[in-house]
Amino acid sequence: MPIVGYILVVLVAYLLGSIPTGFLVAKARGVDIRTVGSGNIGATNVFRILGKPAGIFVLLADAAKGWLAVFLVAKLVADWFYPAAGPLAYEWFKICAGIAAILGHNYTCWLHFKGGKGIATSAGVLVALVWLPLLIILCVWVVVFAASRYVSLASICASFVLPFAAWFTGKNLATVIVTTALAALAIYKHRANIQRLIKGTEHRIGLKKPSPSDVPKPTA
């Protein structure tokens, strides 16, 4: 078994996923995104604080990290170092790369292992691994968000549905187990949002803009 290959895949994919896109984009605008809004470095908080263009850029960049980890990193390691490893080993290369990229985003080594919630990065991973279940949970996300205007609630519901979507579309047991673990991690990362949803203090997109005092002025 190509153990060294798995270690290499995990290391490179983690470092790719650990790039704190939201933090860097906000820092370029003179804002420490960790100190405003929800304090999260993900696309939702960037969207809320810095506006739609910045939020969309961070969303796509974070998703690209997950997709590149699975599609490119796993493929390069398999092709260059283990061309005869076989399809099963390659499939596990991709799974390990995806998990490592998500963990890199959620627990980035560049910010003292405090990162985002991993929804966009997970979406990028799922595009490369299980695109059909992803379409199902995207529909769930859109419906829940349209009805509630809560990004967090939509993400939690979509995460909960993910392993069932994987099972429903005929994925193997290993894939169902992996998607269950990813769903559990995503829901766990939303534990503060769940508390705010219960208390009725969670922020709704499109209903209230942040006050000027919430957005620090760019530094000179």
Per-residue pLDDT for 210 more than 70? no
SS3 23: helix
Residue 91 — very low, low, confident or very high, per pLDDT cuts 50/70/90? confident
Quote the pLDDT of residue 85: 65
Whether 33 contacts 41, CB under 8 Å: yes
* pLDDT band, residue 212 (cuts 50/70/90): very low
pTM, entire model: 0.87
Which H or E run contains 13? helix 3-17
144-170 pLDDT, tens digit each: 999 999 999 999 999 999 999 999 999
Residues with Cβ within 8 Å of 39's Cβ and at least 6 positions away in sequence, in order, are 33, 45
